[in-house]
């Protein structure tokens, strides 16, 4: 039996394998896939594979959606605006205005810039901090150096002006000597000086000696500027900050005279301001439309000036206010509109008023365009039948 079986195996080993159909081969696989768990898993895999193939072939499935691309760039900062006269005078803005002139300098010398504006007659006018084309004038008829003996006394913050024992008063002793030639007289005050070295030096050196200069009490090196101005023949005034409408949002600076201040407060503030320097014949207001409405405040202010022998010249704000040792009010503020044509128009109006009434006074700020326009306008006054006078010649004593 054993031999029969071995023979059968040997016979089978030598025979070729029986062929099976494709259906017979796939039947077990299909039976396996028909099981429910396997069918669900297979469908999931098939879906994932189809998604991957779709992305690989067609790209981003959101490519057909609306889209936009924006390039973002930081805008350049806007240029700082040129400060107004009020901003320039403000104690907090001194550094801003100083920057407009480049490197600030003192009375010992100052470099200048190079931008210009064109005047109506074709002449050039400097812009902010730029050079002024009017020629530098050699010092002529310098005024006596301050302080003059007997006209000051020690104060808590510096020397204060007083009437001398022999009756001399600062309003006369520090004024520029003047003699009328019979022609109608015009006077011009250029103020806001001392904060900007370039325009201060230009006003001192390029304006006629008869033009009166007004200085800000907060200016650094104030006495040096006043000495330089007097050496060039200019009489000078000191500016008094006064409370305006809208104070303190509009703030003329520390030591502003307030309408609500009592006599002691006003006298104390004036003591600080008047003690800043010597050599001025008068004071003038800076702002102050509200302060001048205070009867008590203005009474104290004018009383101090009268006792100290000082004149008061205002810009028109206090036109009807008597007092001080001597008084005058401006007929025109010449540069409320800061362009050459407007300033020349105001100067011509001052000229017309002088021809009509015999004298007229204009006041302006030390914008380069103002300095240039005043320098050119004054050059032809004599030929036009007028006489340029210092502002002190426009003052009158109370009751005269």
Report d(CA 158, CA 272) in Å as an integer.
8
Q: Is 192 helix (H, G, I), strand (E, B) or coil?
A: strand
Report d(CA 179, CA 266) in Å as an integer.
36
Section 51-72 average pLDDT = 49
More confident residue, 170 or 54: 170
Section 58-74 average pLDDT = 47
pLDDT recorded at residue 320: 83
Least confident of 58-62, 83-87, 95-99, 315-319: 95-99
| Residue 317: other Cβ atoms inside 10 A | 20
Is the pLDDT at 301 greater than 90, yes or no? yes
Overall residue count recorded for the chain in this entry: 400
Report d(CA 72, CA 252) in Å as an integer.
43
Section 382-394 average pLDDT = 97
Sequence-distant (6+) residues with CB within 8 A of 336 are 342, 346
> Residue 384: which pLDDT band, with cuts at 50, 70 and 90?
very high
What are the backbone angles phi and psi of residue 121, rounded to the nearest 5°? -90, 10
Report d(CA 68, CA 245) in Å as an integer.
53
Section 28-37 average pLDDT = 59
Is the pLDDT at 305 greater than 90, yes or no? yes
Least confident of 62-76, 256-270, 375-389: 62-76
Is the pLDDT at 115 greater than 90, yes or no? no
> Residue 254: which pLDDT band, with cuts at 50, 70 and 90?
very high
Is the pLDDT at 312 greater than 90, yes or no? yes
Is the pLDDT at 167 greater than 50, yes or no? yes
Reported pTM: 0.71
Check: CB of residue 296 under 8 Å from CB of residue 263: yes
Check: CB of residue 222 under 8 Å from CB of residue 197: no
Report d(CA 160, CA 324) in Å as an integer.
16
Section 201-227 average pLDDT = 97
Is the pLDDT at 111 greater than 60, yes or no? no
Check: CB of residue 73 under 8 Å from CB of residue 100: no
**Which residue carries 């099981």 as its tokens?**
35
How far, in whole angstroms, is CA 64 from its chain's centroid? 55
Exposure class string for 324-347: b at 16+ Cβ within 10 A, else e: bbbbbbbbbbbbeebbbeebbebb
Mean pLDDT score of the chain: 79
The yes/no answer on whether domain 85-131+169-394 falls in CATH 3.20.20.370 is yes
Section 150-158 average pLDDT = 95
Section 351-367 average pLDDT = 97
pLDDT recorded at residue 132: 79
pLDDT recorded at residue 107: 52
Check: CB of residue 310 under 8 Å from CB of residue 283: yes
Peptide linkage before 248 cis (omega within 30 of 0): yes
First to last CA, the chain: 168
Is the pLDDT at 237 greater than 60, yes or no? yes
Q: Is 153 helix (H, G, I), strand (E, B) or coil?
A: strand
């Amino acid at each position: 039996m054993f031999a029969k079986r071995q023979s059968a195996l040997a016979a089978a080993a030598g025979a070729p394998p029986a062929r099976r159909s494709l259906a017979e081969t796939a039947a077990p696989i299909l039976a396996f896939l028909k099981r429910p768990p396997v069918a669900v898993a297979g469908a999931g895999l098939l879906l994932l594979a189809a998604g991957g193939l779709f992305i690989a072939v067609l790209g981003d499935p959101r490519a057909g959606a609306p889209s936009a691309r924006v390039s973002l760039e930081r805008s350049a900062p806007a240029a700082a605006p040129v400060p107004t006269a009020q901003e320039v005078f403000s104690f907090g803005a001194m550094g801003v205005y100083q920057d407009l002139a480049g490197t600030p300098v003192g009375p010992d010398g100052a470099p200048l810039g190079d931008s210009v504006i064109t005047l109506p007659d074709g002449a050039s006018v400097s812009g902010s901090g730029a050079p002024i084309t009017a020629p530098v004038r050699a010092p002529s008829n310098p005024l006596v150096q301050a302080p003059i003996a007997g006209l000051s006394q020690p104060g808590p913050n510096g020397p204060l002006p007083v009437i001398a024992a022999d009756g001399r008063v600062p309003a006369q002793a520090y004024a520029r000597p003047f003699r009328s030639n019979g022609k109608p007289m015009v006077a011009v005050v250029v103020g806001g000086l001392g904060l900007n070295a370039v325009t201060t030096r230009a006003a001192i050196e390029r304006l006629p000696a008869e033009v009166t200069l007004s200085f800000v009490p907060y200016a650094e090196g104030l006495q040096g500027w006043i000495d330089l101005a007097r050496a060039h023949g200019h009489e000078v005034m000191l500016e008094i900050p006064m409370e305006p409408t809208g104070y303190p949002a509009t703030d003329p600076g520390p030591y502003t005279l307030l309408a609500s201040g009592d006599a002691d407060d006003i006298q104390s503030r004036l003591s600080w301001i008047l003690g800043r320097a010597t050599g001025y014949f008068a004071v003038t207001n800076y702002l102050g439309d509200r302060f001048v409405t205070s009867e008590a405040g203005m009474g104290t202010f004018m009383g101090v000036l009268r006792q100290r022998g000082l004149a008061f010249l205002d810009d028109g704000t206090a036109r009807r206010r008597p007092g001080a040792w001597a008084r005058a009010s401006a007929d025109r503020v010449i540069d409320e509109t800061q362009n050459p044509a407007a300033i020349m128009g105001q100067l011509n109006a001052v000229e017309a008023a002088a021809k009509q009434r015999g004298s007229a006074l204009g006041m302006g700020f030390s914008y380069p365009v103002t300095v240039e326009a005043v320098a050119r306008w004054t050059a032809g006054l004599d030929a036009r039948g007028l006489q340029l006078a210092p502002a002190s010649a426009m003052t009158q004593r109370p009751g005269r």
